[in-house]
Structure 1
């Protein structure tokens, strides 16, 4: 906006200067043109009007022709000087009117390096910005509808199962105590699935709305990762997956929000759990590189396309059913997106390397001594 405002001021100043310059040049040119006409008339009129009694008519005719010639030269020169400017201004006005009428694809065809050319460039830039803003607004509206659709669908599936099991229990429609316990166990698992979906949705909205208050502390990532894997290994073993740890024993410290970093790492591990070939292996690496701590989760799965790779960190994106593990409940497609936001809030980077079904999701975090403040609040380390 400041750029457009300054351009408008420069444009007005340039138009005034050009108008003044055209006026002065037209006056000077008209003066010299009139002088030439007068010299010609002073030579030719005495040859035509020779009577002394007609000397007054000669003077009057000379003055009238001088005025008319001055006015003619002035208007002619001024018109030709201002014509290009008027044409450019009209082009700018037509472009602004087209954009104002909603044609944001219109671009002012006014090349040039002068001030009017700069104004045209700024008008085109303004149209691009308006187009981008409207596109973002449409995306927001579409996202709201997608949010409602996905949440409704993802919550309805486990809720339908819970209602079904509760109806069976209410009507005593079971064979024995073992079947009764199985119904209760299945209903409980569905409630846990619903809780996971709601937690993911709540966490995602809180992270994207800017309301997330992170509590940072210096921790040893070695110890934290060891604890996470101990809790994760029994789940992996049930699905015929082995966990391999690959890091040195030396401590690697980072300045993180423990709860949210654990969630990000857990989301990467659950993603590997869902999409690994079974039986198989998941490798967790932790290493130091320059001023970064790099955590990586590797697994083998079905290959995906480059287009699918770009969508993995998008919200609500889910892999095809062929890639999903049937024994692992489907989520809302927010896991990797949540991990992405959490890592960004830590000043780090999350990414994927993929080659022929070998997936490596990595998190890069600054080492503890590289961080001295977060969001304006300083903390000594």
Structure 2
């Protein structure tokens, strides 16, 4: 109890108590010191002077002056640390207002001024984070514009080139003409898919996209998706191995969005798997999650590439993809992660020496064993 009361009584944790003690001690010191000075220095004026009025008046004036001077000096000395800290707070605010958001006021007090310093530092830190966030948003916008411009320009340039050849009839025969038309059509589809991916990504990153959530069987949905991918996998020379329990796994989800996420993950695994190769997919149920794993073997990537693989418009080494598979927009994994996060789940990658395992976890809050 004494340890708690002493800092309060001494003024260590209160500027008001500290100022009050400074006032009282300065008053006592000034009274005693001025009395001593008046008695020993100015007292002789009353005994040596023949007149009584002027010496008494002069003595009283000198007493008041000495008291005020001593009080001001002692009070100034006792409060100099508080004033010095106030000036430091003012200088800190000037630095922060001038744009130096990395400045922090030293926290050397435990009273109200210390709390003010903490608030100033918290304000500066918050402003610094906010400005950094705005810079990241601005950089993100520029990266988005750059990525979109680059990825739209490539197929659009090809479309224009093939159309010019067709308009000028620069082809040997009808077979070559049909090939130009087919390539123009494929590039147009690539352009449409890119725009669709971009639109989907934009909707998922804003609050405009609302999930049409209902209770659906995750196992049935996953089985349908695998059946649709089986012919494409056989065409690429990839075997799809599955492992899942023979029971329903109902969870709250938007089936269209989850289908899109799993499609993107499977397409990524098929594109970048070694040919011939194996893609392993599994689904299991825990206490509160349904977990989907999609694994394949491919060319190893660096740790830096791992950290960027879910970033929009990020594309790993294109040489990893099979020549028969067209390289995507770089938005597939970003869209998949956004969809899963909008459902309250997680999507992560575990990579080791070219073995890739994408792990998708979706919550099932109404789970009952």
Q: Is TM (by shorter chain) over 0.5?
A: yes
Deviation at 1:338, TM superposition (A): 1.1
**Is there any run of 5+ residues in structure 2 with no aligned partner, and where?**
1-12
Contact 1:151/1:332 (8 A) holds in 2: no
| Residue number in structure 2 paired with 1:148 | 145
Q: Supply the distance in 2 between the matched residues of 1:273 and 1:98 (Cα, whole angstroms).
A: 56
Q: Supply the distance in 1 between the matched residues of 2:239 and 2:92 (Cα, whole angstroms).
A: 65
Contact 1:150/1:332 (8 A) holds in 2: no
Deviations 1:292-314 (A, max 9, x none): 10011101111222222121112
Deviations 1:63-92 (A, max 9, x none): 233212211221111101221111111111
| Residue number in structure 1 paired with 2:182 | 185
Which of the numbers 196, 202, 207 marks the counterpart of 1:205?
Answer: 202
| Residue number in structure 2 paired with 1:22 | 22
In the alignment, structure 1 residue 342 sits paired with structure 2 residue 339:
yes
Q: Supply the distance in 2 between the matched residues of 1:144 and 1:275 (Cα, whole angstroms).
A: 29
| Residue number in structure 2 paired with 1:317 | 314
Contact 1:218/1:368 (8 A) holds in 2: no
Residue correspondence of structure 1 range 269-348 to structure 2 within 5 A? 269-348=266-345
Deviation at 1:54, TM superposition (A): 4.5
Q: Supply the distance in 2 between the matched residues of 1:163 and 1:326 (Cα, whole angstroms).
A: 23
Deviation at 1:39, TM superposition (A): 4.9
Which of the numbers 40, 43, 46 marks the counterpart of 1:45?
Answer: 43
Q: Supply the distance in 1 between the matched residues of 2:229 and 2:169 (Cα, whole angstroms).
A: 37
| Residue number in structure 1 paired with 2:3 | none
| Residue number in structure 2 paired with 1:230 | 227
Deviation at 1:118, TM superposition (A): 2.5
* RMSD after superposition: 2.4
With structure 2 as the length reference, what TM-score do the two structures score? 0.88
Contact 2:300/2:354 (8 A) holds in 1: yes
**Is there any run of 5+ residues in structure 1 with no aligned partner, and where?**
1-12, 372-381
Pairs aligned (count): 356
| Residue number in structure 2 paired with 1:132 | 129
Q: More deviation in 176-185 or 74-83?
A: 176-185
Deviation at 1:240, TM superposition (A): 1.6
CA gap 1:212/1:50 in 2 versus in 1, 3 angstroms: closer
Q: Supply the distance in 1 between the matched residues of 2:162 and 2:231 (Cα, whole angstroms).
A: 27
| Residue number in structure 2 paired with 1:68 | 65
